[in-house]
Structure 1
Amino acid sequence: MGRTKGRAGGIGLRPAVFSVVLGLSAMPAIAQNFNFSNVVVEGNTQVDDPTILSFAGISRGQSLSGGELNDAYQRIMDSGLFQSVEMTPQGNTLRITVEEFPIVNTIAFEGNSIIGDERLATLVKSQTRRVFSPTQAEADAAAITLAYSQSGRTAATVEPQIIRRSANSVDLVFTITEGRVAEIERIAFAGNRTYSDRRLRQVLETRQAGILRRLIRADTFIPERTQVDRQMLRDFYLSRGFADVQIGQPSAELTRDRGSYFLTFNIQEGQRYRFGNVSVVSEVPGIDLSDFQDQLWIKRGSYYSPSSVDNVTTRMENVGVQQGLNFIRVEPRVTRNVQNGTLDVQFALVRGPRIFVERIDIEGNTTTQDRVIRRQFRTVEGDPFNPREIRQAAERIRALGFFSDAQVESQQGSSPDQVVVNVDVEEQPTGSLSFGVAYGAVSGVGFNIGFSESNFLGRGQSLGVNIGTGSDSVSSTISFSEPAFLGRDLKFGLSANYTTTDSENSDYDTKSIGISPSLTFPVGDYSRLELRYNISEADISDVEDDSSEILQREEDLGDQITSSVGYSFSYDTRTNGINPLGGVLLRFGQDFAGLGGDVDYVKTSMTAVAERRVWNEDLTLRAVFEGGALTMLNDDVSTVPNRYFGNSIRGFDPNGIGPRDLTAENEDALGGNYFAVARLESEFPLGLPAEYGITGGLFMDAGSVWGLDDNVGTDGVEVDDSMNLRSSVGFSVFWSTPIGPLRLNFTKALKKEDYDEERNFDLTINTRF
Structure 2
Amino acid sequence: MDKRLTRFLVSIVLISALSFSFLSAADTDPWYVGKRIASFSNSGLQNVKESVVLDIQYKYLGKPFSDELFNELQGELYGLEHFLYFLADARRTGEGDNELQIAMTFYELPYIKTTTIEGNQGIKTKDITEVLLAKEGLFIDEQNIELSKQKILALYQEKGYADAQVESEYVIDEATNTADLKYIIRENQQKRIGQIVFEGNEKLSSDMLSKQLSSKQVSYFNSGYYNPSTIETDKQKIITFYQSRGYIDAAITDVRTEDISTEDDTYTRLRVVFTIEEGEQWFFGGIEVEGNTVFSDEQFQSLISMRKG
- Equivalences, count: 251
| Residues in 1 aligned to 2:28 and 2:187: alpha-carbon distance in whole angstroms | 53
User: How far off its partner does 1:207 sit?
Assistant: 7.7
Taking a change above 3 Å as real, the CA distance of residues 44 and 243 of structure 1, as seen in their structure-2 partners, is: same
Contact 1:183 1:220 in 2 (8 A): yes
**For residues 565-609 of structure 1, what are the alpha-carbon distances to aligned partners after superposition, in whole Å with 9 as ceiling and x for unaligned?**
xxxxxxxxxxxxxxxxxxxxxxxxxxxxxxxxxxxxxxxxxxxxx
Residue 232 of structure 2 is aligned to residue 194 of structure 1: no
Taking a change above 3 Å as real, the CA distance of residues 72 and 262 of structure 1, as seen in their structure-2 partners, is: farther
Who wins on radius of gyration, i.e. which is larger? Answer: 1
Q: Which residue of 1 aligns with 2:116?
A: 108
Q: Which residue of 2 aligns with 1:361?
A: none
Contact 1:187 1:262 in 2 (8 A): yes
The AA in structure 1 aligned to 2:44 is G
Q: Which residue of 1 aligns with 2:65?
A: 64
Q: Which residue of 1 aligns with 2:281?
A: 270
**For residues 598-623 of structure 1, what are the alpha-carbon distances to aligned partners after superposition, in whole Å with 9 as ceiling and x for unaligned?**
xxxxxxxxxxxxxxxxxxxxxxxxxx
| Residues in 1 aligned to 2:60 and 2:127: alpha-carbon distance in whole angstroms | 47
Q: Which residue of 1 aligns with 2:139?
A: 132
User: How far off its partner does 1:217 sit?
Assistant: 7.2
Taking a change above 3 Å as real, the CA distance of residues 118 and 48 of structure 1, as seen in their structure-2 partners, is: closer
Q: Which residue of 1 aligns with 2:167?
A: 159
Q: What aligned pairs does 1:499-514 form with structure 2 within 5 A after superposition?
A: none
Contact 1:206 1:229 in 2 (8 A): no
The AA in structure 2 aligned to 1:110 is E
| Residues in 2 aligned to 1:205 and 1:51: alpha-carbon distance in whole angstroms | 47
User: How far off its partner does 1:51 sit?
Assistant: 3.3
Taking a change above 3 Å as real, the CA distance of residues 101 and 250 of structure 1, as seen in their structure-2 partners, is: farther
Residue 6 of structure 2 is aligned to residue 15 of structure 1: yes
Q: What aligned pairs does 1:410-429 form with structure 2 within 5 A after superposition?
A: none
Where relative contact order (Cα < 8 A, 6+ residues apart) is larger, the structure is 2
| Residues in 2 aligned to 1:186 and 1:72: alpha-carbon distance in whole angstroms | 58
Q: Which residue of 1 aligns with 2:308?
A: 336
Q: Which residue of 2 aligns with 1:761?
A: none
Q: Which residue of 1 aligns with 2:107?
A: 99
Taking a change above 3 Å as real, the CA distance of residues 149 and 169 of structure 1, as seen in their structure-2 partners, is: same
**For residues 370-394 of structure 1, what are the alpha-carbon distances to aligned partners after superposition, in whole Å with 9 as ceiling and x for unaligned?**
xxxxxxxxxxxxxxxxxxxxxxxxx
| Residues in 1 aligned to 2:203 and 2:38: alpha-carbon distance in whole angstroms | 84
Residue 150 of structure 2 is aligned to residue 178 of structure 1: no
| Residues in 1 aligned to 2:224 and 2:28: alpha-carbon distance in whole angstroms | 65
Q: What aligned pairs does 1:296-335 form with structure 2 within 5 A after superposition?
A: 335=307
Where does the alignment leave 5 or more consecutive residues of structure 1 unmatched? 3-11, 274-332, 338-769
Taking a change above 3 Å as real, the CA distance of residues 88 and 157 of structure 1, as seen in their structure-2 partners, is: farther
**Relative to structure 2, which stretch is displaced further, 76-85 or 65-74?**
65-74
The AA in structure 2 aligned to 1:146 is A
User: How far off its partner does 1:79 sit?
Assistant: 1.4
| Residues in 2 aligned to 1:252 and 1:26: alpha-carbon distance in whole angstroms | 68
Residue 120 of structure 2 is aligned to residue 119 of structure 1: no
Contact 2:215 2:234 in 1 (8 A): no
| Residues in 1 aligned to 2:253 and 2:227: alpha-carbon distance in whole angstroms | 12
Taking a change above 3 Å as real, the CA distance of residues 246 and 147 of structure 1, as seen in their structure-2 partners, is: farther
Q: What aligned pairs does 1:324-403 form with structure 2 within 5 A after superposition?
A: 335-337=307-309
Q: Which among 123, 143, 158 is matched to residue 150 of structure 1?
A: 158
| Residues in 2 aligned to 1:142 and 1:174: alpha-carbon distance in whole angstroms | 12
| Residues in 1 aligned to 2:226 and 2:68: alpha-carbon distance in whole angstroms | 55
Taking a change above 3 Å as real, the CA distance of residues 26 and 39 of structure 1, as seen in their structure-2 partners, is: farther
Q: Which residue of 1 aligns with 2:178?
A: 169
The AA in structure 2 aligned to 1:131 is L
Contact 1:155 1:178 in 2 (8 A): yes
The AA in structure 1 aligned to 2:228 is I
SS in 2 for 1:54: helix
User: How far off its partner does 1:71 sit?
Assistant: 2.6
Taking a change above 3 Å as real, the CA distance of residues 42 and 179 of structure 1, as seen in their structure-2 partners, is: same
User: How far off its partner does 1:137 sit?
Assistant: 3.6
| Residues in 2 aligned to 1:126 and 1:232: alpha-carbon distance in whole angstroms | 38
Taking a change above 3 Å as real, the CA distance of residues 118 and 63 of structure 1, as seen in their structure-2 partners, is: closer
Taking a change above 3 Å as real, the CA distance of residues 77 and 230 of structure 1, as seen in their structure-2 partners, is: closer
**For residues 165-189 of structure 1, what are the alpha-carbon distances to aligned partners after superposition, in whole Å with 9 as ceiling and x for unaligned?**
4644322212234356678999665
Contact 2:248 2:282 in 1 (8 A): no
Higher helix share: 2
User: How far off its partner does 1:96 sit?
Assistant: 0.7
So what's the TM-score if we normalise by structure 2?
A: 0.59
The AA in structure 2 aligned to 1:83 is L
**For residues 104-144 of structure 1, what are the alpha-carbon distances to aligned partners after superposition, in whole Å with 9 as ceiling and x for unaligned?**
3322212333323233123225554x232525444322211
SS in 1 for 2:307: strand
The AA in structure 2 aligned to 1:224 is T
Q: Which residue of 2 aligns with 1:550?
A: none
User: How far off its partner does 1:22 sit?
Assistant: 1.8
The AA in structure 1 aligned to 2:307 is T
User: How far off its partner does 1:87 sit?
Assistant: 1.8
Taking a change above 3 Å as real, the CA distance of residues 243 and 104 of structure 1, as seen in their structure-2 partners, is: same
Contact 1:55 1:76 in 2 (8 A): yes
Identical counterparts, % of pairs = 15
| Residues in 1 aligned to 2:153 and 2:28: alpha-carbon distance in whole angstroms | 47
User: How far off its partner does 1:47 sit?
Assistant: 3.6
Contact 1:87 1:97 in 2 (8 A): yes
| Residues in 2 aligned to 1:183 and 1:30: alpha-carbon distance in whole angstroms | 72
| Residues in 1 aligned to 2:78 and 2:247: alpha-carbon distance in whole angstroms | 54
**For residues 206-226 of structure 1, what are the alpha-carbon distances to aligned partners after superposition, in whole Å with 9 as ceiling and x for unaligned?**
589xxx9xxx97483432245
The AA in structure 2 aligned to 1:162 is Y
Q: Which residue of 1 aligns with 2:228?
A: 222
Q: Which residue of 2 aligns with 1:40?
A: 41
Contact 1:107 1:172 in 2 (8 A): yes
Contact 1:187 1:201 in 2 (8 A): no
Taking a change above 3 Å as real, the CA distance of residues 152 and 48 of structure 1, as seen in their structure-2 partners, is: closer
SS in 2 for 1:147: helix
So what's the TM-score if we normalise by structure 1?
A: 0.27
